[in-house]
Structure 1
Amino acid sequence: MTFELICVLVLLAIAVGLFTRNRPSVDAVAVIMLVALPLSGILTVPEALAGFSDPSVIVIAALFVIGDGLVRTGVAYQLGELLMRHAGQSEARLLVLLMLTVAGLGAIMSSTGVVAIFMPVVLSIAARLKIPVSRLMMPLSFAGLISGMMTLVATPPNMVVHSELVRSGLAGFSFFAFAPIGLVVLVLGIGYMLLTRRRLASGVIEAKAHEFRHGVLDLVREYNLTERQRCLQVNSNSPLAGRMLNELQLRKEFGINVIAVERQGRFRTLLLGATGSTEIHPGDCLLVDMASPSNDFVEDFSGLELQPVVQVKNHFVRHQRQLGLAEVMVPSDSSFIGKTIQQLAFRSKHKLNVIGLRRQRQALDGVLVAEKLQAGDTFLVSGNWADIRRLQGHSRDFVVLTLPAEVEDVAPALSQAPYALLSLTVMVFLMVTGLVPNVLAALVGCLLMGLFRCVDMTSAYKSIHWQSLILIVGMLPFALALEKTGGIDLVVEGLLSVLGSAGPHAILATLFLVTSFIGLFISNTATAVLMAPVAIASAQALSASPYPFAMTVAIAASAAFMTPISSPVNTLVLGPGNYRFIDFVRIGVPFTVLVLLVTVVMVPLLFPL
């Protein structure tokens, strides 16, 4: 073992350790490695930065934009509505349609995005059918993971493995090369979930469907708003009259958050969203959030009348068409974690007020604006329904758990839905026929989405998950560094010395197991970057075709069923499904073994050794 190889392995061990701790963030670790590898002298600067020009990275970025176009035009949500209409009252039919829909949509857009879209749909359907939502959330996440086994562009690991084949001077996988295996796994997954779904409802904490179909009064009760919300009537002699909210510093001085202002109009009572520039008029009724009535506040601002608590419910009910509520969850990879509610600046960014916070299903009291958020927290936002609908497009740092209005109103480019489908069809046609390289096909799809106004430049840039792209770019040089320093040859020699006499099928099984195991600790994309060169080198050492070995790694990278932290998809459903860590282990491990058997049997048939 050379000194250069030892340096690479040390850097790799440091990266894996930091990935496991998730501190700093995975993209920051990737950038650190991009700097460390050239400084160590193992790679040149162009070699270390080559990932920025890798076609697979461009394709993945383009697919984020394509997915955003399907969301903005309502195509994705329309599929959810179609699912609700055809599910009827049958839980089994619902599960089958749900998994088919999610797997199909996830084959052409981010599985994490698809699961985030369908979470509120599942919560709503579970409430309507009065079934435990825990029976549907894990099938939802499993279908999202299986969707990665459907097409070449379904998940970044597929593109990584494809790119490694091309880099080795081989033809990559075709667009539907993964589909036969993915379809078999999907059918088995549906059958497996139909048989095991009742075990998902047998945990210590039983999820009840009606808890997630929140009406206004349900949310008021569950977040203890009746204990925190007050109505302050502004009399004509009040010093607040004629002043703007940002002048009063009510939140800073008294811990009072003004949610909305009720004002008597010429023909009806108006409810105005509270912003810093809102001017208070005599006769206004301020709907405020405060931990307890403040005597100091009443003394400093005379001319105020504190209304009875019962008035709070009346305000929410009377103004349901104007004053909306939505429940938002903080996922495990959110940048909100560790920040206070005040630091989020939700009012200035989204025109919505955070008025409640729940942690481990318990509403928190006290001064919420100073509370630091944790993964899995849910908070309640209030504001105009139009602003809440727009919140659906900002799902990177949070997930909206309830759809606050009709699905059609959520989509800002609803009328462009036919053009979004046309753009998608053109992209898939170009990829399938091979008329142009995949990267050009993806860019053509993006340009068509923009031409037909399915996306704009702002939404396109926001839709790209830059963290994932930087992670891929930062990990790709490790494959080259291991190859240059003999690390891959060393791994292959060790693998063949142990299993060489057992035959190619045993090596395929071992590759699957090793890839799945590594994927428990680091992202499946980083796992594919590390294992793809090992798979191809193993095939070359055996004088066998590299395609079955590469395909095995790609399938194993998507088989992240075993723990809730194996994939962001699993982490998303952990809280809403009320799952425990062991729930994923006891359901996911047997299914992973099933996928292993399917892979070892089918891959050599489809891609002869």
Structure 2
Amino acid sequence: MTLDQIILFTLFFLVFVGLLWGRWRYDLVAFTALIIALLLQVVPTDMAFSGFGHPATIIVALVLVVSRGLTNSGAVDLITRSVIDQSRSIGMHITILGGIGGILSAFMNNVAALAMLMPVDIQAAQKSGRTPGQTLMPLSFATILGGLVTLIGTPPNIIIASIRETTLGEPFKMFDFAPVGIIAAIVGITYVATIGWRLIPEQSRKKNATSELAELEGYIADLVVADDSKAIGQKVKDLDTIAEENDCYVLGLARRGNRLPGRARNEEIKAGDHLIIEASPEAINALVGALGLKFQSQTASKKALSGDVILSEAVVTRESRLAGRTAMQSKLLARYGVSLLGISRQGKAIRTQVRKTELEPGDILLLLGTPESVEDVIGRMGFLPLADRQLPVTQYDRAWLAIGVFAAALIAASLGWIYLPVALAVVAIAFVFTDIVPLRELYDTIEWPVVVLLGSMIPLGAALETSGGTELIVNGLAAATNGMPAWVALTLLMAVTMTLSDVLNNTATAIVAAPVAIGLANQMGVNPDPFLMAVAIAASCAFLTPIGHKNNMLILGPGGYSFSDYWRMGLPLEIIIVAVSVPAILVFWPL
């Protein structure tokens, strides 16, 4: 090996160790490696920050903005509102919600899709008298599988397409991933809905971590009856059924600024009236969409909380700045005005000395503060919101506008009329100008650690290829499959990539594995596209550990899972994905 190859392999080894160790966040590890490579001159100076302007990096950032817009507009809620039915069996519930999650994940960030569907799943579990641990892991796996279907469904697909453009002159198109991705997703979701959920250990299925959070007092909301509201013409008492379905309680009615006597049960509701509702924040938000109401003002607690103070739940991730630290050490209250009220840890609630408890990945935090301060802390600390408790977020009247703009952009990009990053940029701009994504949320929406990771790893991956390091890996894989059919090498490549993705960031895995796939195909004298597709599928399918994919980490605490629970359902799923994907790849992408 040359000196440059030795340096680069050492850097990649240290990056992998750093990612596995988890002591420092992955973006810091990757950026440090890039700077060291520049100082040691194994990455040319003119390529130093080329990764930050790479199409893959831009697309990932824009997809996050678009995902926020689809969430804010209520477009997702239009799809999920009628999903909850306590009479359904677990298998049918997983099939329906998992199918919706898979479809959403094909067109928006899969972490955002899971974050939107988790409260729906937890609410369904509570109404059915079962625990979320029975269904959250299947839902997480379904949203991961849905991302396999399109170019924008998951970052590895975006990276694979960009590397193909750089190497072969043309990227994969929006739905090039669909033939294989749809088959893998359908088979995978069928497995988790019929067999997979039964493989979750009994003790984990009986845990109800979310119920052990502090009991939240109901909020009082003053909701305006819009001109096109479904409540118009009904009596207040007629709303009992739909209010109960959305876990709300109608306290009374106000008209022309005056509260009507009692609860006004027999009063007919008119446009412009004000319904007085008591419920949790997410329940009030759901009722707004169900009845076509509007918010009059911010909610206020029944207790001494001011109107602009909210309670919010968030999950500690492996990359969070608070992982391994306490709230007291970080001075959350003094610096940010946010108080940590409670912690739930894999089914075991922590109620004493909360501020002095060292936080762990997967912990559920109950935070108290203003909407701005809570949002700021969630972003700064690298938390994932378990449920959005800021009521005036969803804008149901703009749902179809958001869907229409997004669909038009996808069609234009798919037909080759507009370059995909430009199409997504148009959607993002439209969402900002129509206030679907408020300007103050725009930059907070982008997951900057992922952007830094991509911007840092892309030059390192290019340097490994130009130095001949990729060729050394290719030669090793070729030697291991010498004399065997090409499909054996394809299967081996998938297995190796999938194993790496289970313990590393899937984005980093794709950056390293894609050039290897092209080199292996070239050495065998076959079409490189099947090998790139194999990497795309394998890099996204991380089901053995909670650290392989953010979705798996997001459900760790709420589901009450342990680290070892994942491989029990995940290992058969990974084997199934390889078994169905290899033949599908060979059919749709012949060697």
Letter in 1 for 2:382: D
Q: TM-score, normalised by structure 2?
A: 0.79
In 1, Cα distance between the equivalents of 2:343 and 2:479?
57
2:343 to 347, 353, 357: 357
CA-to-partner distance for each residue in 1:118-140, whole Å, 9 max, x for gaps?
A: 21211111111112322211111
**How far is 1:345 from its partner?**
6.1
2:297 aligned partner: none
1:421 to 403, 406, 409: 403
**How far is 1:84 from its partner?**
1.9
2:515 aligned partner: 533
1:583 aligned partner: 565
CA-to-partner distance for each residue in 1:403-449, whole Å, 9 max, x for gaps?
A: 669xxx45243332222112211221122111121111111111111
**Is 1:571 the counterpart of 2:557 in the alignment?**
no
What SS does the corresponding residue of 1:376 show, helix, strand or coil?
coil
**Is 1:513 the counterpart of 2:495 in the alignment?**
yes
1:332 aligned partner: 318
CA-to-partner distance for each residue in 1:505-544, whole Å, 9 max, x for gaps?
A: 0110011011012112211110100010011111112221
- 1:201-600 residue pairs with structure 2 within 5 A? 202-207=201-206, 212=210, 218=215, 326-342=312-328, 353-364=339-350, 366-382=352-368, 397-401=382-386, 409=391, 411-600=393-582
1:141 aligned partner: 140
2:97 aligned partner: 98
In 1, Cα distance between the equivalents of 2:566 and 2:430?
40
Letter in 1 for 2:455: V
What SS does the corresponding residue of 1:520 show, helix, strand or coil?
helix
**How far is 1:208 from its partner?**
5.1
What SS does the corresponding residue of 1:189 show, helix, strand or coil?
helix
2:283 aligned partner: none
In 1, Cα distance between the equivalents of 2:336 and 2:412?
38
Q: Please, which runs of 5 or more residues in structure 1 have no aligned partner?
A: 221-266, 268-314
Residues 367/560 of structure 1: CA separation in 2 closer, same or farther (3 Å cut)? closer
2:244 aligned partner: none
2:44 aligned partner: 44
**How far is 1:113 from its partner?**
1.7
**How far is 1:397 from its partner?**
3.2
**How far is 1:316 from its partner?**
8.3
Letter in 2 for 1:581: F
Letter in 1 for 2:461: A
Bigger drift between 150-159 and 387-396 goes to 387-396
CA-to-partner distance for each residue in 1:375-409, whole Å, 9 max, x for gaps?
A: 2333334578x88997999697334445669xxx4
Matched pairs, number: 509
1:246 aligned partner: none
Kept in 2: contact 1:389–1:404 (CA 8 A): no
- Higher CA-based Rg: 1
Letter in 1 for 2:7: C
Residues 358/580 of structure 1: CA separation in 2 closer, same or farther (3 Å cut)? closer
Letter in 2 for 1:124: Q
Letter in 1 for 2:40: S
Kept in 2: contact 1:201–1:207 (CA 8 A): no
Residues 55/370 of structure 1: CA separation in 2 closer, same or farther (3 Å cut)? same
What SS does the corresponding residue of 2:93 show, helix, strand or coil?
helix
Kept in 1: contact 2:311–2:367 (CA 8 A): yes
1:278 aligned partner: none
In 2, Cα distance between the equivalents of 1:395 and 1:411?
20
Letter in 2 for 1:540: N
In 1, Cα distance between the equivalents of 2:89 and 2:337?
40
Residues 410/494 of structure 1: CA separation in 2 closer, same or farther (3 Å cut)? same
2:83 aligned partner: 83
Residues 10/332 of structure 1: CA separation in 2 closer, same or farther (3 Å cut)? closer
State the Cα RMSD in Å: 3.1
Kept in 2: contact 1:31–1:474 (CA 8 A): yes
**How far is 1:366 from its partner?**
4.8
Residues 154/396 of structure 1: CA separation in 2 closer, same or farther (3 Å cut)? farther
In 1, Cα distance between the equivalents of 2:521 and 2:531?
7
2:245 aligned partner: none
**How far is 1:348 from its partner?**
7.7
In 2, Cα distance between the equivalents of 1:43 and 1:336?
33
**How far is 1:143 from its partner?**
0.9
Letter in 2 for 1:147: G
In 1, Cα distance between the equivalents of 2:387 and 2:69?
21
**How far is 1:20 from its partner?**
1.0
1:59 aligned partner: 59
In 2, Cα distance between the equivalents of 1:396 and 1:112?
17
Residues 204/176 of structure 1: CA separation in 2 closer, same or farther (3 Å cut)? same
Q: TM-score, normalised by structure 1?
A: 0.77
In 1, Cα distance between the equivalents of 2:330 and 2:406?
35
Kept in 1: contact 2:327–2:357 (CA 8 A): yes
Residues 426/349 of structure 1: CA separation in 2 closer, same or farther (3 Å cut)? farther
CA-to-partner distance for each residue in 1:260-286, whole Å, 9 max, x for gaps?
A: xxxxxxx9xxxxxxxxxxxxxxxxxxx
Residues 83/200 of structure 1: CA separation in 2 closer, same or farther (3 Å cut)? same
In 1, Cα distance between the equivalents of 2:376 and 2:95?
29
What SS does the corresponding residue of 2:340 show, helix, strand or coil?
strand
**Is 1:23 the counterpart of 2:23 in the alignment?**
yes
Bigger drift between 91-100 and 457-466 goes to 91-100
Residues 472/451 of structure 1: CA separation in 2 closer, same or farther (3 Å cut)? same
**How far is 1:593 from its partner?**
0.8
In 2, Cα distance between the equivalents of 1:479 and 1:383?
42
Letter in 2 for 1:501: G
2:233 aligned partner: none
CA-to-partner distance for each residue in 1:267-321, whole Å, 9 max, x for gaps?
A: 9xxxxxxxxxxxxxxxxxxxxxxxxxxxxxxxxxxxxxxxxxxxxxxx9877899
Kept in 2: contact 1:350–1:387 (CA 8 A): no
In 1, Cα distance between the equivalents of 2:203 and 2:34?
45
Residues 214/421 of structure 1: CA separation in 2 closer, same or farther (3 Å cut)? farther
Letter in 2 for 1:479: G
Kept in 2: contact 1:574–1:580 (CA 8 A): yes
> Among the aligned pairs, what percent are the same residue?
28
Letter in 2 for 1:373: L
What SS does the corresponding residue of 1:107 show, helix, strand or coil?
helix
Letter in 2 for 1:63: V
**How far is 1:22 from its partner?**
1.6
Q: Please, which runs of 5 or more residues in structure 2 have no aligned partner?
A: 218-258, 260-299
Residues 343/80 of structure 1: CA separation in 2 closer, same or farther (3 Å cut)? farther
Letter in 2 for 1:6: I
